[in-house]
Amino acid sequence: MIYRGKEGQWSWVLHRITGIGVLLFLLTHILDTMLVGWGPEIYNKVMSIYRHPFFKIGEVGLFAAVLYHALNGIRIILVDFWPRGTQYHRQMFYGEVILFFLAMIPVSFLMLSH
Amino acid sequence: MKVELRIQRFNPEKDSKPHFENYAVECEPTDRVLDAILQVKGVLDGSLTLRKSCAHGICGSDGMQINGRNMLACKVLVKNLKQPIVIEPLKGFKIVKDLVVDMKSFFEKYRSVQPYLQNEDPVPEKERLQSPAERERFDDTTKCILCACCTTACPSFWSDPNYVGPAAIVQAHRFLFDSRDKAKEERLNVLDSREGVWRCRTIFNCSDACPREIDVTRAISEVKRNLLFKKL
Ligand code: SF4
Ligand code: SF4
Ligand code: FES
């Protein structure tokens, strides 16, 4: 059985996953930009793949990952540097979740309707 | 009430890996998990092996994983738990037998932070005085009973068994923030190393698990901040 951690453990697991996700995106992004070196044809061809609906949803996912990682990063900074941070880490996590959805609902709407 | 237990068993002389066994015993709702386990041992299977001593949450010997979380078996009532109550040894140590784990490395780390008062100044006539505020500074970390519930709940420790771990940091904190102690440098050297406080990712499993309700992550954060700003 895996350990039944609480908010702290799950916030950390999500932090890891979103961190790795964003890193993977950056790596592919570096690779696809590098294709410019082979000339505009190849570059444009590969870039057109990104217009597939799958990548549209992927972009929303990327935004979500960056947003969560940033918000939770602020929470970790507060835990580390604000002396009462460890007492309120749970509340900060729920605040973070609320902010996340407040931002994600309009943003996903805008991104997907484009 | 009838209490169903699902206990992880391991006999190093017979088994190649641990397995679970189910038991059912009759308990009062206000009995603790430890009482239920001792009933299994006393009535159903005398070979069940565990550590316990005080049975009152003071000695710290019966830390184990109960329904997925580390607790002292003597501090949790059966009526407050979902059945069957799943009982496993603490994670991250080698299992000696059933619920008994090898805590040698845990106590080595405890010793590495020199958990005793050091002060070479001439002994004053009466005592080394301390103001109530100075005493308050490390009050929380004096409560530790070295049960290892925190360290074995820590994902950083599972992935790196050499991490000094929350319990040792709590013990170091107790002396680092004691105005009478003079051996800060030695302790900080241990905690500032690769396997020291920086392995902590503020996951809070330790604080959630501590049966003494010590704000473990806070103690670790205080040590981190002091290392960063060299305030000690
Ligand atoms: S707060 Fe730090 S020491 Fe405690 S469980 Fe998390 S990583 Fe481990
Ligand atoms: S800090 Fe708490 S959980 Fe950790 S060893 Fe001490 S009493 Fe046990
Ligand atoms: S038996 Fe002593 S703490 Fe549980």
Architecture of the domain defined by A7-113: Up-down Bundle (1.20)
Q: What is the mean pLDDT of chain B?
A: 96
- List all residues whose CB is within 6 A of at least one atom of ligand 3: B 52-55, 57-62, 72, 74
B7 DSSP β-pair partners: B21, B87
| pLDDT beyond 80 at B97 | yes
Burial class from Cβ neighbours inside 10 Å (0-12, 13-18, 19+) for residue A86 reads buried
Count of domains observed in chain B: 2
pLDDT at B205: 97
- Asked which of B66, B101, B136 is the last residue of a domain, the reply is B101
End-to-end Cα distance, chain B = 54
Neighbouring CB atoms inside 10 A of B179's CB total: 14
Helix/strand number for chain B, H first, E second: 8, 7
CATH label of the domain that carries residue B92 = 3.10.20.30
Whether residues B11 and B33 fall in one domain: yes
A5/B203 Cβ within 8 A: yes
Structural element, H or E, at residue B187: helix B184-191
pLDDT at A50: 84
| Res. A56 pLDDT band, cuts 50 70 90 | confident
Model ipTM value: 0.84
Q: Which two tokens stand for residue A4?
A: 């039944």
Extract the runs of DSSP E, i.e. beta strands, from chain B: 2-9, 19-26, 63-66, 69-72, 85-88, 95-97, 100-101
| pLDDT beyond 80 at A1 | no
Q: Which two tokens stand for residue A68?
A: 């969560």
Of B69, B205, B218, the CB nearest to A86: B218
d(CA B156, CA B159): 5
B interface residues, A as partner, C-beta within 8 Å: 65, 67-69, 86, 88, 91, 153, 155, 201-205, 207-208, 215, 217-218, 221-222, 224-225
Are the C-beta atoms of A86 and A8 separated by less than 8 Å? Answer: no
pLDDT at A36: 85
pLDDT digits (tens, 9 = 90+) for B6-57: 999 999 999 999 999 999 999 999 999 999 999 999 999 999 999 999 999 9
> Could you state, in order of their start, the residue ranges of all structural domains in chain A?
7-113
DSSP tag of B84: S
Q: Which whole number is the average pLDDT over B206-231?
A: 94
Are the C-beta atoms of B17 and B10 separated by less than 8 Å? Answer: yes
Whether residues B152 and B218 fall in one domain: yes
- Residues of the domain holding B83: 2-101
DSSP tag of B54: S
Are the C-beta atoms of B47 and B11 separated by less than 8 Å? Answer: yes
Whether residues B90 and B202 fall in one domain: no
Pairing of β B85-88 and β B2-9 = parallel
CATH label of the domain that carries residue B150 = 1.10.1060.10
End-to-end Cα distance, chain A = 44
pLDDT at A113: 86
